[in-house]
Structure 1
């Protein structure tokens, strides 16, 4: 004799509800499309939309690989323990990523997580995102849980429009259509270089490395000093604890100089420093770091941004620095 539960499951399809009976008093109900069951070991099931499109392979205790298509995916993947953290790096052995690409992707991931951890540790409540481009940096911080204010600066017209659209639904993400520098002024920026737009001309090395530098479209932009916009950017924060991120393609020291004495307000900072000069007039890494250290910042992390494929030399690092005296007790 059917139980009331079984009668209900039998009746639901007549009402347009799809039923996937998993047994033991468990069922998946859906109105849009049928669901299929893919067993995962003895204790779990993967429920998918449609059928025959996923396969599951057990890698180790408590870890499975889910792949689209048919066949056994276990032979495609290998997993590497990350020290004694309990974390595992899953690598597609049939993939096309080379060692250089893998390192740079890992460095980007580690840098972003390192910064997010520092923002929490130091109680940062306002991130100055200088050289915001389309908002990639701010989006990464949000994905990692940073909920404080972000103030982004992007001077080029088309890119600022994209940035403004990205931030429009986030009331704590403020955007400004100008650049920052040593003096309030107007300037000409190379605006056709995608994420590498710069106020500086390319060096001979930069021209050899990037074809985009052969394009020459320029745009007039507004430049302001950082210390002239800080009060507005920090308005409403009872105890401001700002962090300065700069990615201005060779212009970071000019931005830094524009903070004047108010650079002491920042508990931390981040700058893209060059080992190999891509832009004429940009500082070398040791010169930039010396200026930052003279202002009381100390290195907490160095992450390669780009490498030469032929030699393995690092072209640029993301340098993360904090003011140790500002750390919570």
Structure 2
């Protein structure tokens, strides 16, 4: 025998009311348009208007991703070890392994740097080779709120950098390059984010067409130890971090810190396995110099890879001064 509840549900469509039955004792009643119920999993349903088809991807406990349209079922969720995180993976995009790996490395590198800034209590990031401010903006998105001091020598990029920092009172910008000595010199421009004080190597010329056409721009270069006190002014107990991305010139920036490199608790440098610029150091030379300065590797992430061979061209190398880490209690056994 039908219950009163069930008889009412059966009656409502005759009155122009649509009923979607969700289970014993539960229903959705609506006047406008039909509703479609898509089961997501135990105890969860998706209720939508119309007859659209949906694909459901489980993304963890009591979590689902719902997609509608063509290419249903392309998504999958990959568990990232025991971290509790999952990677939502588009299988179509995943056909280009190199692009996926490099995009993931860029994200993981920035995540790692943000974690190191927090762990070491960094309160000032020196952003050398800032371009249009991409690095600083990523740090802000990941929660870093301390001071950022950006250096960009080229006029066009500096204009964009200034605009990016305009509404951020803790972000300083300087129209300068940094190097081993105070000077005025020429930089190769017109290479997008790859403008360099160094000419391209034979390998670089073969890899990038943009290197075959170049302009130069006169820029001012300062030593890092000469701008350090001004940049840190007002910070009671400075704990600075040095990020360098100067297209083959990072070791010159590092040398310009002199003895003041000991003030830094960490650094990030783009180190080359295959040299794009004539006269730039190899990775082993750069890492050895940083280690001599008291820094140790905490992360290494590929920046570019050859599509034909899979060889890494450059790595983002993150290094910290382990002695500068705050004490966090007893070591884990």
TM-score computed with the length of structure 2 as normaliser: 0.83
1:242-282 residue CA offsets vs partner (Å, 9 max, x unmatched):
00000000000110111111000000001000000100000
Partner SS, residue 229 of structure 1: helix
RMSD: 2.6
Residues 57, 75 of structure 2: 8 Å contact kept: no
Residues 52, 69 of structure 1: 8 Å contact kept: no
Counterpart of 1:239 in structure 2 is 237
Matches of 1:290 and 1:269 in 2, distance apart?
A: 14
Q: Indicate yes or no: 2:291 matched with 1:301.
A: no
Q: Specify whether residues 234 and 46 from structure 1 end up closer, same or farther in structure 2 by C-alpha distance, changes over 3 A only.
A: farther
Worse-superposed segment, 260-269 or 98-107: 98-107
Superposed, 1:1-329 pairs within 5 Å as 41=40, 55=54, 57-59=56-58, 61-69=61-69, 73-74=72-73, 76-95=74-93, 97-329=95-327
Q: Specify whether residues 37 and 180 from structure 1 end up closer, same or farther in structure 2 by C-alpha distance, changes over 3 A only.
A: farther
Q: CA deviation at 1:88?
A: 1.6
Matches of 1:40 and 1:309 in 2, distance apart?
A: 42
Q: Specify whether residues 47 and 122 from structure 1 end up closer, same or farther in structure 2 by C-alpha distance, changes over 3 A only.
A: farther
Residues 179, 222 of structure 1: 8 Å contact kept: yes
Q: CA deviation at 1:128?
A: 0.1
Matches of 2:39 and 2:175 in 1, distance apart?
A: 52
Gaps of 5+ in 1: 1-23, 27-35
TM-score computed with the length of structure 1 as normaliser: 0.84
Q: Specify whether residues 106 and 137 from structure 1 end up closer, same or farther in structure 2 by C-alpha distance, changes over 3 A only.
A: same
1:39-83 residue CA offsets vs partner (Å, 9 max, x unmatched):
6737567799x9888845142542222335368x33x12222111
Larger Rg over CA atoms: 2
Partner SS, residue 222 of structure 1: strand
Residues 55, 70 of structure 1: 8 Å contact kept: no
Matches of 1:262 and 1:319 in 2, distance apart?
A: 21
Partner SS, residue 318 of structure 1: strand
Partner SS, residue 140 of structure 1: helix
Residues 37, 45 of structure 1: 8 Å contact kept: no
